[in-house]
């Protein structure tokens, strides 16, 4: 890491903190969450797509953190917003959330979006942001349709970035990765969700276990914008890569410092700028909260 990228990450983290008003010691986003542990078992076809050890080993221990993106540590899980799932499988971190595309293409634009969303008058500021950033249209529309979730393990999660799955011969297949729940849960009404305790998703996790989610590689169709995380793809072709089985909720003795660029041989980094900016800001946010 160069000193420039270090400074850049720290500056972005300070700007995110100022925009969200996160409390000291809390994550700057996704502050509310719950840990789960279990293991990942690859599907039989996964090694043909990627030579990564996680797809060759019979099973890899998994540490996962489900989270609610907005509202800080004191927010309500039933408030509108998306949810996150960060999973560490050996040398592979998968840090995903519930929208299939993202609002922006880089860190500074994310800060601008967070300032608008957290302003005193978001009803004016977010449309003004959208007018300046037409690339945010797809994610904003989907976010506007989001309904309160019933259960963390019943949701689908998306990487938004395309990762390069490299096979033993070096052939690279670009794919968005995703988790697909074995037991999908429908949304709650806002009234029902807000009548539950503020941390109902985190508190309900233990009762959902054991729970399984499949890891899939979502492949683009010709003409899809492979390396633009703001653009939906027209293809719905998904190849199974394996299954995550979560069985426990004990927090890890040492929390993984999740990094979307913590990748093994056999999984190449996204080519978009968003992933690089995220990696720097997560490292700085982690240092900041101690
Ligand atoms: C430039 C865009 C982004 C910025 C600036 C950003 C910023 C952050 C920050 C500051 C945190 C808290 C880190 C900490 O305090 O340890 C965080 C957590 C998180 N972000 Fe992002 N984020 C961005 C994009 C995304 C995207 C595209 C996704 C999903 C595809 C995502 C998913 C998550 C998740 C799941 C967590 C919680 C990780 C955990 O449980 O520890 N973020 N993000």
What is the average pLDDT value for the chain, to the nearest integer? 95
If one counts the domains in the chain, the total is 1
The answer to whether the CB of 214 falls within 8 A of the CB of 179 is: yes
* Nearest alpha carbon, ligand 1 atom 27: 102
Asked whether 51 and 167 are in contact (CB, 8 A), the reply is yes
Predicted confidence (pLDDT) at residue 4 exceeds the cutoff of 80: no
Query: Distance (Å, rounded) from C-alpha 77 to C-alpha 71?
Result: 8
Q: 13 phi and psi, to 5 degrees?
A: -60, -40
Of the two residues 86 and 72, the one the predictor is more confident about is: 86
Q: In angstroms, rounded to a whole number, what is the distance separating the alpha carbons of residues 277 and 280?
A: 5
Atom of ligand 1 nearest to the CA of 288: 15
How many whole angstroms separate alpha carbon 109 and alpha carbon 274? 10
| Concatenated DSSP letters of 196-218 | S-TTHHHHHHHHH-SEEEEEEEE
Q: Look at the alpha carbons of 149, 215, 238, 163 in this order and tell me if their dihedral is positive or negative.
A: positive
Whole-angstrom CA distances from 186 to 111, 146, 150, 160, 197 are 31, 11, 7, 22, 19
Higher pLDDT, 205 or 8: 205
Give the pLDDT confidence score for residue 71 in this predicted structure.
Answer: 86
What pLDDT, on the 0 to 100 scale, is given for residue 250? 94
SS3 (DSSP) at 81? coil
- Give the per-residue pLDDT at 5: 66
Q: pLDDT digits over 39-76, tens only? A: 999 999 999 999 999 999 999 999 999 999 988 899 99
* Ligand 1 centroid, distance to 278 Cα (angstroms): 7
How much is the pLDDT for 2? 46
Query: What pLDDT sits at residue 24?
Result: 85
Half-sphere exposure at residue 198, Cβ-oriented, CA atoms within 13 angstroms: 9
Q: Cα of 28 to ligand 1 centre, how many Å?
A: 8
Closest residue to atom 1 of ligand 1, CA basis? 107
Whole-number Å distance, alpha carbon 98 to ligand 1 midpoint, is 12
Ligand 1: distance of its center to the CA of 94 in Å?
11
The residue whose CA is least distant from atom 3 of ligand 1 is 278
* pLDDT (0 to 100) of residue 173: 98
pLDDT at 6 over 80: no
Torsion of CA 275, 277, 279, 280, to 10 degrees: 170
Residue-wise pLDDT for 142-169, tens only, equals: 999 999 999 999 999 999 999 999 999 9
The CATH number linked to 244 is: 2.40.180.10
Q: Determine the number of helices (DSSP H) and then strands (DSSP E) in the chain.
A: 9, 9
Task: Please give the pLDDT value at position 23.
Answer: 82
Helix-helix angle 3-20:273-289, to 10 degrees: 70
Beta bridge partners of 240: 216
**In the structure, what pLDDT confidence band is assigned to residue 290 with cuts at 50, 70 and 90?**
confident
- Identify the sign of the CA torsion 203, 204, 205, 206: positive
The pLDDT, as a whole number, for residue 70 is 85
Percent of residues, the chain, with pLDDT higher than 90? 92
| In-domain check, residue 281 | no
Q: What are the pLDDT digits (tens) for 118-146? A: 999 999 999 999 999 999 999 999 999 99
Asked whether residue 216 is assigned to any structural domain, the reply reads: yes
Ligand 1 interacting residues, C-beta cut-off 6 A: 12-13, 16, 27-30, 33, 65, 67, 84, 86, 95-97, 102, 107, 110, 159-160, 258, 274, 277-278, 281-282, 285-286, 289
Residue 3 pLDDT greater than 60, yes or no: no
Q: Is the pLDDT of residue 33 over 70?
A: yes
Which range marks the domain in which residue 256 is found? 32-272
Confidence band for 1, pLDDT divided at 50, 70 and 90: very low
């Amino acid at each position: 890491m160069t000193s420039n990228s270090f400074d850049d990450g720290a500056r972005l983290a300070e700007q995110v903190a100022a925009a969200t008003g996160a409390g000291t010691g809390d994550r700057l986003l996704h502050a509310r969450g719950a840990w789960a542990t279990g293991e990942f078992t690859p599907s039989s076809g996964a090694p043909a797509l990627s030579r990564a050890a996680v797809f060759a080993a019979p099973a890899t221990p998994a540490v996962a953190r489900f989270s609610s993106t907005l509202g800080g540590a004191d927010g309500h899980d039933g408030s509108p917003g998306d949810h996150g799932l960060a999973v560490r499988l050996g040398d592979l971190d998968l840090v995903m959330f519930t929208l299939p595309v993202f609002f922006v293409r880089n860190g500074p634009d994310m800060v601008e979006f967070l300032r608008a969303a957290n302003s005193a008058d978001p009803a004016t500021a977010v449309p003004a942001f959208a007018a300046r950033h037409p690339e945010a249209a797809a994610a904003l529309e989907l976010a506007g349709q989001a309904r309160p979730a019933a259960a963390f393990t019943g949701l689908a999660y998306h990487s938004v970035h395309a990762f390069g799955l490299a096979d033993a011969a070096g052939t690279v297949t670009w794919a968005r990765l995703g988790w697909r729940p074995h037991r999908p849960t429908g949304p709650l009404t806002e009234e029902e969700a807000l009548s539950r305790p503020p941390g109902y998703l985190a508190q309900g996790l233990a009762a959902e276990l054991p729970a399984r989610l499949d890891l899939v590689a979502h492949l683009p169709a010709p003409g899809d914008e492979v390396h633009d995380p703001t653009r939906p793809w027209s293809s719905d072709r998904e190849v199974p890569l394996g299954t995550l089985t979560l069985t426990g909720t004990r927090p890890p003795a040492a929390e993984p410092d999740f990094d979307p660029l913590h990748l093994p041989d056999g999984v190449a980094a996204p080519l978009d700028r968003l992933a690089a900016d995220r990696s720097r800001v997560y490292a700085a946010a982690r240092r900041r909260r101690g």
